[in-house]
């Protein structure tokens, strides 16, 4: 069914949404400032529109090497599980639906004004400060924009009770993400064997594993055999973080960094280059909140969120990358997947990956 709010929202581009999220940052609690930026990278509007317009949807998905659940319809009430404000999702959904019911197109409000209006209404319903609602309200309106009014109304917006690292006040959750594990009484004397914790959450599972100082995150994740990770996400060949190539080529291991991004190595040229080709909107910062986990070495505790899908779509969608070719992601990935299955350590075979820029 046509809806005036939906039609109005569809006049804004992905760049408009990202600019609105930046403009709103001072009105968002610190716990969700990067989280909301990450959400908008995990669910890019331009990819959604490209798939909606594709004549042959299946072929488009194949060309973009899409794997996993990339449509918001599949995770209407769970996609924002890593935002602190997700606990108020039901209030946000109700506020978005009310906005849709009363919306008059001739008012032409800006995205920022719309998000603030929904945030104020949801904060009143939830009885909490609006700084906890603005980020999740941006997600609410963006979800409405992607799935449409009818689909958005299909669920009541019930969410699971926060557990583990997401329990407690917003201040305590934000502060806990900044802390490092103690290295013991004489830890300050240690030069090797320092160990830290990597906390992770995806839509289906969460937990933590240990990482040695200067160890690649996916290498540390691969040593965690505490669960059958592949039964939880078929992209998880070794440990809880999805991987294929371990060489920056396939984009399977992309993650959002909710806490501790400054404790990861700076982005090297190879990661920067390949992330652009993959289509992930990684900020230009030296240590951004969007990383390839197989390229990031940890020097302290970090908190990660794992997206439910991956792909290689930079050239097709954004058309802003140099005319340089990657080896088709599926070729190198398939080869390395076979080696991983055989128990061969993938990092010994990085020489088999295509020539990409090195530092
Ligand atoms: S596993 Fe990291 S890019 Fe392929």
pLDDT attached to residue 188: 64
- Whether residue 151 sits in one domain with residue 22: yes
* Number of domains into which the chain is organized: 2
The pLDDT, as a whole number, for residue 331 is: 52
Same domain, 115 and 259: no
Specify whether 193 is located in the same domain as 77.
no
pLDDT at 329: 47
Lowest mean pLDDT among 66-70, 93-97, 306-310, 339-343: 339-343
pTM attached to this predicted model? 0.89
Residues near 94 by beta carbon (within 8 Å), at least 6 away in sequence:
122, 125, 157
Q: Considering the domain boundaries, does residue 164 fall inside one? A: no
Q: Is 221 in the pocket of ligand 1 (CB under 6 A)?
A: no
User: How far, in Å, is the centroid of ligand 1 from the Cα of 103?
Assistant: 44
Residue 229 sits in the same domain as residue 115: no
Instruction: Identify the domain containing residue 245 by its residue range.
Output: 179-352
pLDDT tens figures, 298-309: 999 999 999 999
> C-alpha 150: how far from its chain's center?
25
Task: Give dist(CA 214, CA 296) in Å, integer.
Answer: 9
Q: Does residue 130 sit in the same domain as residue 246?
A: no
Question: Of 158, 189, 215, which marks where a domain is finished?
Answer: 158
For residue 323, what is the domain's CATH number? 3.10.20.30
Residue 357 lies in a domain: no
Do 213 and 194 form a contact (C-beta atoms < 8 A)?
Answer: yes
Cα separation of 10 and 190, whole Å?
55
Q: How many beta carbons lie within 10 A of that of residue 73, not counting itself?
A: 13
Site to probe by mutation for ligand 1, drawn from 68, 220, 244 as the one with most ligand atoms within 8 Å of Cβ, is 244
Please indicate, yes or no, if residue 121 is contained in any of the structural domains. Answer: yes
Question: Do both 69 and 119 map to the same domain?
Answer: yes
Q: Please indicate, yes or no, whether residues 188 and 134 belong to a single structural domain of this protein.
A: no
pLDDT digits (tens, 9 = 90+) for 199-241: 999 999 999 999 999 999 999 999 999 999 999 999 999 999 9
């Amino acid at each position: 069914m046509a809806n005036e709010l939906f039609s109005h929202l569809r006049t804004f581009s992905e760049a408009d949404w990202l600019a609105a999220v930046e403009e709103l940052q001072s009105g968002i609690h610190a716990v969700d400032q990067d989280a909301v930026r990450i959400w908008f990278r995990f669910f890019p509007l331009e990819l959604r529109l490209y798939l909606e317009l594709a004549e042959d949807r299946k072929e488009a998905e194949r060309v973009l090497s899409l794997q996993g659940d990339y449509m918001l319809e599949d995770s209407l009430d769970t996609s924002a599980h890593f935002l602190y404000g997700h606990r108020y999702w039901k209030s946000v959904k109700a506020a978005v639906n009310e906005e849709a019911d009363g919306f008059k197109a001739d008012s032409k409000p800006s995205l920022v004004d719309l998000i603030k209006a929904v945030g104020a209404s949801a904060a009143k319903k939830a009885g909490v400060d609006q700084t906890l609602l603005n980020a999740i309200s941006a997600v609410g309106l963006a979800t409405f924009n992607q799935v449409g009014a009818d689909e958005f109304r299909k669920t009541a917006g019930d969410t699971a009770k926060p557990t583990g690292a997401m329990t407690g006040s917003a201040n305590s959750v934000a502060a806990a993400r900044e802390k490092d594990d103690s290295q013991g009484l004489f830890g300050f004397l240690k030069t090797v064997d320092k160990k830290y914790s990597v906390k992770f959450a995806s839509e289906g599972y969460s937990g933590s594993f240990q990482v040695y100082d200067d160890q690649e995150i996916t290498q540390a994740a691969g040593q965690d055999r505490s669960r059958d990770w592949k039964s939880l996400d078929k992209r998880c060949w070794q440990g809880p973080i999805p991987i294929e190539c371990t060489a920056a080529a396939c984009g399977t291991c992309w993650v959002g960094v909710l806490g501790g991004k400054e404790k990861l190595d700076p982005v090297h040229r190879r990661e920067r280059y390949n992330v652009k080709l993959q289509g992930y909107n990684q900020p230009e910062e030296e240590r951004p909140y969007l990383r390839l986990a197989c390229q990031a070495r940890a020097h302290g505790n970090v908190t990660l969120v794992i997206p439910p899908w991956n792909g290689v779509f930079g050239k097709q969608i954004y058309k802003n990358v140099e005319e340089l070719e990657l080896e088709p992601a599926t070729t190198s990935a398939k080869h390395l997947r076979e080696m991983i299955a055989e128990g061969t350590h993938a990092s010994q075979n990085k020489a088999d990956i295509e020539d990409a820029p090195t530092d």
